[in-house]
Amino acid sequence: MKRWGTLLKWTGRGGGAAVAVLVLALLSLDRALPPDLQRYEERSTIVLDAQGEILRAFTTSDGMWRLGATSDDVDANFVRMLVAYEDQRYYVHPGVDPLALGRALGQWAAAGRPISGASTLTMQTARLLEPRPRTIAAKVLEMARALQLEWRYSKSEILDIYLTLAPYGGNIEGVRAASLAYFGREPAELTPSQSAILVALPRSPERLRPDRFQDALAEARNLVLARVMGTGLIDAQVYDEALEDPVPHARATLPFRSPHLARRLYGASQGATEIQTHIDGPLQDYVEQLARQTRLQLEPEANMAALVVENATGRVVAYLGAADFWAPAGQVDLVRAERSPGSALKPFIYGLAFEDLLLHPETLIDDRTILFGAYAPQNFDREHLGTISVRTALQQSLNVPAVAVLDQVGPMRLAARLRQAGAALSFGQLGAEPSLPLALGGVGITLEDLTMLYAGIAREGAVPSLRFVDGADEDDSRQIMSATAAWYLDDVLRGSPLPEGFGQAQGALRPQAIAFKTGTSYGYRDAWAIGFTGAYTVGVWVGRADGSPRPGSYGRNTAAPLLFQIFDQMDPSDAGRDLPDDIIIARSYRDLPTRLRFFEPPGRDFSVAAQQRATPLQIAFPPPGTVVDLTSTTTIAMPLRANGGTPPLRWLIDGEVLPASDRFERPVWEPREPGFVEITVIDAAGEADHAAVRLRITP
């Protein structure tokens, strides 16, 4: 539209009324029949990381890989090569080249058939926008559209349309999609040989497809190189070196990183062609590689998910929905899957107790058998440590003290506080209410929400909203606990026992102090590790997508090593912790006010007899329906656990009693043959429980 005003001024000065009428008529036609840019505007949606690199792209509604590209996005020599080969007078003609048109018509008249074409880049662009059969009428309309494009748009804008729509074989359109598909690189990094290939391909994209006709493609490339060398664009040395470069023989895979997050954002994009995320590309690549390597060491159905959050902003800088998107159940986004957190919610129980001044990290608390009505919780190893500090109880993830504290804090209150902070909780049956088993994982929560909650501890109790895309950085945090309570938790969790292989030798310190907590759900179904520094929070989940048990896999030996490896890949700088004004510094319980020295739950029955009466005998592990994977070379030892009953307990495998040395304390069974097995436990009172498990051989 820019040039119509200039032309109208010219006709008004001396062009005459007839010319003015013609111009007005053309202007009316231009407005009534504008170029159809629908194909150009309908591009593949691309999801980008924080560095601007593609995480994942999606095909258009017609199934094409059509990535937007401009002349600024490609190697400058490619653009020069394209113009030199296709349309040397591109920057001077008005859309139709009179010299080329005259030459083509003259050759046609002399030979009686078309000898050479006169199609300019602008005319090719018009044909790409509105494809038609190759007829004389279509060619005339194409020239008219080319003139119209030149009036409306600059040469650079027209070139951008061509670079986005040029065909490159199959469902690949545009130079960016072609460069990624055939060379695995962005078009700004093209070599002379690659540039020549991408100049040649649009002339006959199916006949020259790299995955089918390498020889024909090499010949077409060489023709382009020879012609542009004749124009002086490249010298003989570049020409000779380019001839030696191999041509591609297959399509490469387009970038496919953080595919679950990309799909999630694409579904909510409402037609956006570009989605900018906060994902740190190098960190994301590392997490994905770590997951792939780790999965090779686990049983076939095992999977994992991970999330990394920048505490100050809530930005998600790494997102692993599954270890392998193309594996069975790999398309399930396990970051958003509801799972039992095991012990991973315990810090929030203690946090509320710290906030209420019921406890201090140095407060003494009993770890012994205790009965809550008909509920008698047991520690993971079914042993008790006696009187210990709250610090030790949380660091060792003891169940009994946590339930005792939750009994005072209130499960309804804890659940309400978690929900107010933005976490979605699921209690299974409709209408079910939070109860004391909440302390041990009796709730469904996602890795996304759990990581978000832990980021709140790192932020002095203020839970951030997780932010995936650019432009969503307003602060709308919700307070889950006081800053003092969060400081206590930070201090306690920094002393959690490190996973095997990550301990500190005397005089050797890890690069950063990580506050972390692990969790293992009932039946070894879910293994968790959530940790934070001043700068970042990392959440890791390991398990099976179908929720089936994984005997012997728990948070500390499965998820925690991954957590520490991710942290070791990140900047070790850690923001200093401000000391709250009302913090109580104490080395032991003796330094505390009297009311904080010892915690004793009021009105609870601590007797062993009461526990035995209240809790029926039940096999705790392995739960019914467990699938155990065996190998032909490795023997596994499966622990046998039961709740309730009157000791001593006897264990039977398919009716055969385990040897006497294995009956008590920590019985262990070594399965050897595939098939179905019935496990039975019998207590001293004659009560029994049964569980059927399946054994299978894996490679």
Concatenated DSSP letters of 299-341 = -TTEEEEEEEEETTTTEEEEEES-S-TTSTTTTS-TTS--B--
605 secondary structure, DSSP code: B
What secondary structure, in 3-state letters, does 450-469 show? HHHHHHHHHCCCEECCCECE
Active site residue 343: yes
pLDDT higher than threshold 50 for residue 11: no
pLDDT higher than threshold 60 for residue 115: no
Give SS3 for 649. Answer: coil
Give pTM, 2 decimals: 0.82
Q: Under CATH, what is the fold of the domain 616-697?
A: Immunoglobulin-like (2.60.40)
The C-alpha atoms of residue 164 and residue 134 are separated, in whole angstroms, by 22
CA angle 256, 260, 261 (to 5 degrees): 95
Whether 597 contacts 590, CB under 8 Å: yes
pLDDT higher than threshold 60 for residue 278: yes
The C-alpha atoms of residue 114 and residue 99 are separated, in whole angstroms, by 16
pLDDT higher than threshold 70 for residue 23: no
The C-alpha atoms of residue 689 and residue 376 are separated, in whole angstroms, by 18
- Say how many C-beta atoms besides its own lie within 10 A of residue 686's C-beta: 8
pLDDT higher than threshold 80 for residue 479: yes
pLDDT average, residue stretch 397-407: 95
pLDDT higher than threshold 90 for residue 571: no
pLDDT higher than threshold 90 for residue 13: no
What secondary structure, in 3-state letters, does 56-72 show? EECCCCCCCEECCCCHH
* pLDDT confidence of residue 472: 60
* pLDDT confidence of residue 6: 46
Whether 606 contacts 386, CB under 8 Å: no
112: left (phi over 0), alpha (psi -120 to 50) or beta: left
For 313-342, b/e burial (b = at least 16 CB within 10 A) is: bbbbbbbbbbbebeeeebebbbbebebbbb
Active site residue 61: no
- Say how many C-beta atoms besides its own lie within 10 A of residue 665's C-beta: 12
pLDDT higher than threshold 60 for residue 507: no
pLDDT higher than threshold 70 for residue 57: yes
| Cβ-proximal residues to 528 (8 Å cutoff; 6+ apart), any chain | 341, 342, 344, 447, 450, 518, 519, 520, 521, 539, 540, 541, 542, 555, 559
pLDDT higher than threshold 50 for residue 287: yes
Q: Measured in whole angstroms, how far is the alpha carbon of residue 696 from the centre of its chain?
A: 32
Interval 305-315: pLDDT, tens: 999 999 999 99
Question: Which among 179, 343, 389, 482 is annotated as catalytic?
Answer: 343
Give SS3 for 172. Answer: strand
Question: Which among 42, 53, 71, 86 is annotated as catalytic?
Answer: 86
* pLDDT confidence of residue 415: 96
Sorting pLDDT into bands at 50, 70 and 90, what band is 334?
very high
The C-alpha atoms of residue 641 and residue 669 are separated, in whole angstroms, by 11
pLDDT average, residue stretch 694-698: 78
Whether 308 contacts 317, CB under 8 Å: yes
Q: Which of 244-258, 505-519, 581-595 has the lowest mean pLDDT?
A: 505-519
* pLDDT confidence of residue 65: 96
Q: Which of 32-41, 227-236, 270-279, 481-490 has the lowest mean pLDDT?
A: 32-41
342 secondary structure, DSSP code: G
pLDDT higher than threshold 70 for residue 339: yes
pLDDT higher than threshold 50 for residue 7: no
> 346 — phi, psi (to 5°)?
-55, -40
The C-alpha atoms of residue 173 and residue 11 are separated, in whole angstroms, by 42
Stronger pLDDT, 59 or 432, i.e. the higher one: 59
Whether 322 contacts 310, CB under 8 Å: no
Whether 3 contacts 149, CB under 8 Å: no
557 secondary structure, DSSP code: I
The C-alpha atoms of residue 68 and residue 59 are separated, in whole angstroms, by 12
* pLDDT confidence of residue 226: 95
pLDDT higher than threshold 90 for residue 2: no
pLDDT higher than threshold 90 for residue 430: no
> 55 — phi, psi (to 5°)?
-85, -50
Q: Measured in whole angstroms, how far is the alpha carbon of residue 539 from the centre of its chain?
A: 12
Whether 423 contacts 450, CB under 8 Å: yes
Give SS3 for 577. Answer: coil
Most confident of 14-23, 612-621, 675-684: 675-684
The C-alpha atoms of residue 269 and residue 247 are separated, in whole angstroms, by 37
pLDDT higher than threshold 50 for residue 357: yes
Torsion sign over Cα 583, 588, 594, 597: positive
pLDDT average, residue stretch 135-162: 91
Q: What letter represents residue 537's amino acid?
A: T
Count of positions (residues) in the chain: 699
Torsion sign over Cα 44, 49, 53, 54: negative
Q: What are the sequence ranges of the domains in the chain? A: 1-33, 61-244, 616-697
The CA radius of gyration of the chain, in Å to the nearest whole number, is: 35
Q: Which of 192-201, 463-472, 505-514, 633-642 has the lowest mean pLDDT?
A: 505-514
* pLDDT confidence of residue 661: 46
Sorting pLDDT into bands at 50, 70 and 90, what band is 618?
confident
Whether 531 contacts 515, CB under 8 Å: yes
Q: Which of 352-361, 422-431, 553-562 has the lowest mean pLDDT?
A: 422-431
pLDDT average, residue stretch 435-463: 95
Q: Where does 61-244 sit in CATH, by number?
A: 1.10.3810.10
pLDDT higher than threshold 70 for residue 104: no
pLDDT average, residue stretch 22-42: 76
**High-pLDDT (> 90) share of the chain, %:** 60
Same-fold call for 61-244 versus 616-697 = no
Cis peptide before 551 (omega within 30 of 0): no
| Cβ-proximal residues to 475 (8 Å cutoff; 6+ apart), any chain | 464
Q: What letter represents residue 86's amino acid?
A: E
Helix residue ranges per DSSP H, 231-314: 236-244, 259-267, 281-295
Going from the C-alpha of 258 to that of each of 66, 359, 451, the distances in angstroms are 20, 42, 17
For the chain, the average pLDDT equals: 86
Burial class (CB in 10 A: 0-12, 13-18, 19+), 478: middle
pLDDT average, residue stretch 433-456: 95
pLDDT average, residue stretch 537-549: 94
Stronger pLDDT, 272 or 634, i.e. the higher one: 272
Q: Are strands 364-367 and 598-599 parallel, antiparallel or unpaired?
A: parallel
- Structure tokens that stand for 579 in this block: 């000391």
Stronger pLDDT, 512 or 496, i.e. the higher one: 496
* pLDDT confidence of residue 619: 84
The C-alpha atoms of residue 326 and residue 493 are separated, in whole angstroms, by 36
Stronger pLDDT, 430 or 72, i.e. the higher one: 72
| Cβ-proximal residues to 671 (8 Å cutoff; 6+ apart), any chain | 628, 630, 636, 638, 677, 695
Tokens 């995480």 belong to which residue? 55
> 35 — phi, psi (to 5°)?
-60, 140
